[in-house]
């Protein structure tokens, strides 16, 4: 069998480990051959690909980014499925492993279920927002980078007796903020799933300050405060109703400064959280998911993806992983609140 592999959507630490795991297992156990597709669906639509062998994946488990490149090209653009089927036939591709997040896996599920294409998936996202898999690779690394950054920001905040607002990624969910905020001992943790008021944020900041601490506020990029001003909602929200990327930290800092009288600055961690080497946990998870994608292909379970359940790797239908977002549950919110302030 000739297997095409593509990585699509935002990159995540661990993508290269998936590629290595899949290629090694596929070659060693089944004698498959592999084709690396450049820049996600774009490469399949435009026939931009190259042979991928064991040597190409050597030493990849710890390398950040993706050797294949990525893009946000939609599989239904530019001629869509028909064009991809044509390219697959010309190239002799028997199956596609699509490694991606919600957008990629929804597209891949449609290609398999509606168009009958031999596509399997591997879930990827630093946001950890996919359902039917306990964790996605990339999340542990992003949370670790955010934690280390907050630790560093804390020493400068302590020295200057300032409040610091640290904005982390996560799109519409608060997993990175929750884990980094808990690991770094933040005084306020603000999640999209649980809007809190300006009064509550001010209370947490003031309580930390009154105990002689430089207040640390960790805010997920998708957080929108309860009671957001009309003026802000006019120009500060994107089309999904989120405060714009890079916006919420900057929005909150002057409000906290004004309400508490504590000098407050904001930092956006941004793409730092996606860059560089994956943690050991993400390397292992990504490698195992990559290897499992080969089992799924060998069983011809088109439309299925590898997933994590507890400590086991399982197979689930891709459509089930994208049906609903994996949001932070109420019990995790109640748990962190005890630590705040
Ligand atoms: O989905 C991963 C993610 O990093 C989100 O946390 C963030 O909202 C988005 O991608 C940023 O996308 P881009 O790299 O296209 O700016």
What CATH code is carried by the domain that includes residue 233? 3.40.50.460
Cα 173 to ligand 1 centre (Å)? 12
Query: Is 199 in a helix, a strand, or coil?
Result: helix
In this structure, what DSSP letter does residue 108 have? H
Q: Are residues 173 and 242 in the same domain?
A: yes
Which residue's CA is the nearest one to ligand 1's atom 14? 10
When pLDDT is averaged across residues 274-285 and rounded to a whole number, the result is 98
Tell whether the model's pLDDT for residue 323 goes beyond 90: no
Does the pLDDT at position 280 exceed 90?
yes
Residue 339 lies in a domain: no
> For atom 5 of ligand 1, which residue has the closest CA?
171
Predicted TM-score of the model (pTM): 0.94
Average of per-residue pLDDT across 180-190: 98
- Known binder of ligand: residue 330? no
Burial (0-12, 13-18, 19+ Cβ within 10 Å), 171: buried
Q: Establish whether 66 is an annotated binding residue.
A: no
Report the atom number in ligand 1 closest to the C-alpha of 170.
6
**Does 240 have pLDDT greater than 70?**
no
CB 45 within 8 A of CB 78: yes
Computed over every residue of the chain, the mean pLDDT equals 94
Sheet of strand 33-37, all strands in order from the earlier edge strand to the far edge: 49-52, 33-37, 2-7, 95-100, 119-123, 304-309, 312-317
Q: 33-37 and 49-52: which strand pairing?
A: antiparallel
Going by C-alpha positions, the residue among 35, 3, 22 that lies closest to residue 124 is 22
Cα(246) to ligand 1 centroid in Å equals 11
Residue 266 lies in a domain: yes
Q: Give the residue numbers spanning the domain of 8.
A: 2-138+278-322
Contact of 305 with 296, CB cutoff 8 Å: yes
181: Cβ contacts below 8 Å, ≥ 6 apart: 150, 189, 218, 336
Asked if residue 151 and residue 265 are part of one domain, the reply reads yes
Do 154 and 216 lie in a common domain?
A: yes
Contact 60, 29 (CB under 8 A): no
* pLDDT, position 331: 98
In this structure, are 35 and 47 located in the same domain? yes
Ligand 1 site residues (CB inside 6 A) read 10, 101, 125-127, 169-171, 221, 245, 274
The contacts of residue 312 (CB under 8 Å, 6+ apart) are: none
- Total number of domains in the chain: 2
State the distance from the centre of ligand 1 to the C-alpha of 79, rounded, in angstroms. 26
- Please report, for residues 49, 140, 158, 307, the alpha-carbon distance to residue 313 in angstroms, rounded to integers and kept in the order given: 29, 17, 43, 6
Q: How is residue 265 written in tokens?
A: 């600055």
Share in percent of the chain as helix, strand, coil (round to 5): 45, 20, 35
How far is it, in rounded angstroms, from Cα 302 to Cα 113? 8
The residue whose CA is least distant from atom 7 of ligand 1 is: 171
Contact between 149 and 301 under an 8 Å Cβ cutoff? The reply is no
127 is catalytic: yes
Whether residues 11 and 121 fall in one domain:
yes
What pLDDT is attached to residue 247? 83
Answer yes or no: is pLDDT of 336 > 90: yes
Give the confidence band of 222 by pLDDT, cuts at 50, 70, 90.
very high
Quick one: pLDDT band at residue 231, thresholds 50, 70, 90? very low
2-44: pLDDT as tens digits: 999 999 999 999 999 999 999 999 999 999 999 999 999 999 9
**For position 77, what pLDDT does the model report?**
84
The span from the CA of 217 to the CA of 228, in Å, is 18
How far is the C-alpha of 320 from the C-alpha of 134, rounded, in Å?
Answer: 13
Query: Do 241 and 144 lie in a common domain?
Result: yes
Is 88 inside any structural domain?
A: yes
Ligand 1 centre distance from Cα of residue 10 (Å): 6
Share of the chain above pLDDT 70, in %: 95
Q: Are residues 9 and 23 in the same domain?
A: yes
In a domain, 329, yes or no: no
Q: Which of 10, 72, 123 to mutate to test the pocket of ligand 1 (most atoms within 8 A of CB)?
A: 10
- Residue 238: pLDDT band with limits 50, 70, 90: low
- Dump pLDDT digits (tens) for 64-120: 999 999 999 999 987 899 999 999 999 999 999 999 999 999 999 999 999 999 999
CA distance 118 to 111: 8
pLDDT at 237: 63
- In this structure, the answer to whether residues 232 and 258 fall within a common structural domain is yes
pLDDT at 307: 97
Give yes or no: residues 149 and 127 share one domain.
no
Strands, E assignment, the chain: 2-7, 33-37, 49-52, 95-100, 119-123, 163-168, 188-190, 216-220, 264-268, 304-309, 312-317
Tell me the mean pLDDT in the region 291-311: 98
The CATH number linked to 41 is 3.40.50.450
Please indicate if the annotation marks 178 as binding a ligand. no
Residues 126, 202 share a domain = no
Q: Which listed residue (11, 39, 127, 282) is catalytic?
A: 127
Judgement on whether residues 32 and 85 belong to the same structural domain of the protein: yes
């Amino acid at each position: 069998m000739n297997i095409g592999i593509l990585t699509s959507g935002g990159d995540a630490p661990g993508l290269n480990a998936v590629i290595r795991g899949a290629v090694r297992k596929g070659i060693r156990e089944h004698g498959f051959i592999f084709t690396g597709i450049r820049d996600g669906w774009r490469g399949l639509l435009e026939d931009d690909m190259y042979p991928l062998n064991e040597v190409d994946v050597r030493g990849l488990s710890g390398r950040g980014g993706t050797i294949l490149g990525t893009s946000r090209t939609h599989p239904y653009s530019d001629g869509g499925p028909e064009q991809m089927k044509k390219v697959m036939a010309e190239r002799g591709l028997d199956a596609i492993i699509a490694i991606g997040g919600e957008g990629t896996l929804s597209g891949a599920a449609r290609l398999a279920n509606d168009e009958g294409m031999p596509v399997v998936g591997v879930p990827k996202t630093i946001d950890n927002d996919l359902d039917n898999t306990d964790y996605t690779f990339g999340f542990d690394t992003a949370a670790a980078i955010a934690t280390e950054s907050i630790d560093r920001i804390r020493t400068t905040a302590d020295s200057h007796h300032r409040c610091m607002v640290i904005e982390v990624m996560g799109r519409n969910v608060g997993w990175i903020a929750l884990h980094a905020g808990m690991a770094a001992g933040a005084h306020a943790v603000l999640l999209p799933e649980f809007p809190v008021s300006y009064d509550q944020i001010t209370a947490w900041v003031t309580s930390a300050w009154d105990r002689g601490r430089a207040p640390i506020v960790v805010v997920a990029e998708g957080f929108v405060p309860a009671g957001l001003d009309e003026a802000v909602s006019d120009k500060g929200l994107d089309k999904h109703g989120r405060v714009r990327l890079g916006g919420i930290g900057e929005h909150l800092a002057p409000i906290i400064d004004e309400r508490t009288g504590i000098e407050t600055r904001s930092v956006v961690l941004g793409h730092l959280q996606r860059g560089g080497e994956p943690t050991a946990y993400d390397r292992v998870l990504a490698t195992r998911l990559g290897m499992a994608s080969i089992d799924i292909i060998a069983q011809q379970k088109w439309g299925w993806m590898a997933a994590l359940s507890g400590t086991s790797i399982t197979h689930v239908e891709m459509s089930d992983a994208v049906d609903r977002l994996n949001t932070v549950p109420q019990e995790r919110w109640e748990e962190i609140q005890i630590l705040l302030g």
